[in-house]
């Protein structure tokens, strides 16, 4: 559509994972091109888009509560149209429209490029519903509008998933695994660099599987090399690198490419073979141990992150204790612990040996205590060293700048509190680390 003058103000609220952040950025670009005024404050908006998550119960509850809170703005604010997007709509479009008449329009995970039409139809009094095939093509809509002052951004290198993990609903919400071309990803990286982004985070449901569906081989290492040649991009961070396809070529790229962060995000979900088999996760503990040893040998300063699910149906107390011992021994630098959620339409939800919620919560708390000890020890190795830090914010109350090293991902890992810095935000500076605090670090700029 051509950009035309409009008076409507549009706000987007993004919930859930970073993949939704990418989708919201693309919608923002389309909305801006149409001529709507994008604003941050929903209370002043004529149109509010809630980009939802429907992955687990807690996320669904947050999404529903947010929709209801926004709906109240029809009485207390300027709201004319409430549009709901994302995974929750892909999964529950009929329920949402039947039970929440406050909603004026719905768009699923494969149709958000139609957002301007949905806005126009909803403002005209219609109730547009665009929820079809979840297989959206990021090849055709790669331009994104990121907020000013964004120095780190995500790029989807693929969408969907071909794995059949028994606890996961994602293939039904996002479709089959679909890689983007290297050319389109590089073009997006250039667009982001032009907007001031210094770090790109490459994401997919199964990033190490990248390229096989379109190139006939897994070429993640080649993609990393191509993106590293984009002028202005200083750091490249890889997320969700499943262990099954972590090739020697990929390890070599981590070891030799100075722009690739020495940070491996490898979601394992568990350590015990019987649990992994019931989850339909590829590989077994022996394979994982061998891969971790190989990575650490090639990249000695690497930071390893993983995610674990506790309380999967049938997980015995012995298996849980073995998991704790595994984490103590392997010593992941970063760890995300998730409590199992019995999601409808998944194979695991039909298993008989579901674990009581109080047991699941107790196990999760125990794991985080283990990780606190491990993280404190692992973080201590940086004290006395000089590390590059991306400066992203300033705390005026304490007169310190806040940033991250290449060993920490934004919003999920630790931060570095920096004193003695006098420059602008968005710069990567050398910091002498003086203190370690469990997950965070502090130091002085060199």
Q: Which of 365, 361, 286 is nearest to 324 (CA)?
A: 365
- Look at 97 and 151; give whichever has higher pLDDT: 151
| 261 among annotated binding-site residues | no
Q: Are 119 and 163 in contact (CB under 8 A)?
A: no
> What is the C-alpha to C-alpha distance for residues 197 and 70, in angstroms, rounded to an integer?
31
- Look at 136 and 116; give whichever has higher pLDDT: 116
Q: Are 169 and 122 in contact (CB under 8 A)?
A: no
Residue found under tokens 């502090």: 442
pLDDT tens by residue, 179-226: 999 999 999 999 999 999 999 999 998 999 999 999 999 999 999 999
Give Rg (Cα) of the chain: 22
**Residue ranges covered by each domain of the chain:** 9-130, 152-381, 385-445
Please report which confidence band the pLDDT of residue 115 belongs to, taking 50, 70 and 90 as the band edges. Answer: very high
Residue 147 pLDDT > 90: no
State the virtual CA torsion across 222, 228, 230, 233 in degrees, nearest 10.
140
Q: Does the domain at residues 385-445 carry the CATH identifier 2.40.50.140?
A: yes
* Confidence (pTM): 0.85
Please report which confidence band the pLDDT of residue 426 belongs to, taking 50, 70 and 90 as the band edges. Answer: very high
Residue 3 pLDDT > 90: no
Longest Cα–Cα distance of the chain, Å, equals 65
> What is the C-alpha to C-alpha distance for residues 441 and 435, in angstroms, rounded to an integer?
6
Q: Does the domain at residues 152-381 carry the CATH identifier 3.80.30.20?
A: yes
Per-residue tokens: 286: 């022996």
Residue 5 pLDDT > 60: no
Q: Mean of the pLDDT values across residues 55-72? A: 88
pLDDT number for residue 1: 43
pLDDT tens by residue, 76-105: 888 999 999 988 888 888 888 888 999 999
Q: Mean of the pLDDT values across residues 20-36? A: 90
Please report which confidence band the pLDDT of residue 349 belongs to, taking 50, 70 and 90 as the band edges. Answer: very high
For residue 99, give every residue at least 6 positions away whose Cβ sits within 8 Å of its Cβ, in sequence order, or none. Answer: none
Q: Which CATH superfamily is domain 9-130 in?
A: Methylthiotransferase, N-terminal domain (3.40.50.12160)
Q: What is the 3-state secondary structure (H, E, C) of 121-190?
A: HHHCCCCCEECCCCCCCCCCCCCCCCCCCCCEEEEECEECCCCCCCCCCHHHHHCCCEECCHHHHHHHHH
Q: Which of 125-129, 135-139, 229-233 has the largest mean confidence?
A: 229-233
């Amino acid at each position: 559509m051509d950009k035309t003058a409009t008076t409507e103000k549009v706000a987007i609220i993004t919930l859930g994972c970073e993949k939704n952040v990418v989708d919201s950025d693309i919608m923002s670009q389309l909305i801006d091109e149409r001529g709507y005024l994008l604003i941050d404050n929903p209370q002043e908006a004529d149109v509010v888009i809630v980009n939802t998550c429907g992955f687990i119960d807690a996320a669904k509850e947050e999404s529903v509560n947010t929709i209801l809170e926004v709906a109240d703005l029809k009485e207390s604010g300027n709201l004319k149209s409430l549009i709901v997007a994302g995974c929750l709509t892909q999964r529950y479009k009929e329920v949402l429209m039947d039970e929440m008449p406050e909603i004026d329009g719905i768009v699923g995970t494969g149709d958000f490029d139609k957002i301007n039409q949905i806005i126009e139809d909803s403002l005209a009094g219609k109730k547009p519903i665009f929820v079809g095939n979840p297989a959206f093509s990021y090849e055709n809509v790669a331009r994104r509008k990121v907020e000013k002052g964004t120095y780190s951004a995500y790029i989807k290198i693929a969408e969907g998933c071909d794995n059949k993990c028994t606890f996961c609903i994602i293939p039904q919400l996002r479709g089959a695994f679909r890689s983007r071309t290297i050319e389109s990803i590089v073009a997006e990286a250039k667009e982001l660099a032009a907007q001031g982004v210094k770090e790109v985070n490459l994401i997919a449901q199964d990033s190490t599987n990248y390229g096989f569906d379109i190139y006939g081989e897994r070429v993640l290492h080649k993609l990393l090399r191509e993106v590293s040649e984009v002028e202005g991009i200083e750091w490249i961070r890889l997320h969700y690198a499943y262990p099954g396809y972590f090739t020697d070529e990929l390890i070599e790229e981590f070891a030799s490419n100075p722009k690739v962060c020495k940070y491996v995000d490898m979601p394992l979900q568990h350590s015990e073979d019987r649990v992994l088999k019931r989850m339909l996760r590829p590989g077994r503990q022996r394979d994982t141990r061998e891969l971790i040893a190989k990575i650490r040998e090639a990249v000695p300063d690497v930071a390893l992150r993983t995610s674990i699910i506790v309380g999967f149906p049938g997980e015995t107390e012995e298996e849980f204790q073995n998991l704790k011992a595994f984490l103590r021994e392997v010593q992941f630098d970063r760890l995300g612990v998730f409590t199992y959620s019995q999601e409808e339409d998944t194979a695991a939800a039909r298993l008989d040996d579901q674990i009581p919620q109080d047991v699941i919560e107790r196990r999760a708390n125990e794991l985080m205590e283990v990780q606190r000890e491990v993280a404190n020890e692992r973080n201590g190795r940086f004290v006395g060293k000089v590390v590059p830090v991306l400066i992203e914010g300033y705390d005026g109350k304490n007169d310190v700048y806040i940033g991250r090293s290449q060993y920490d991902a934004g919003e999920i890992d630790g931060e570095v509190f920096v004193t003695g810095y006098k420059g602008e935000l968005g710069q990567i500076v050398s910091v002498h680390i003086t203190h370690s605090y469990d997950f965070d670090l502090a130091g002085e700029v060199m």
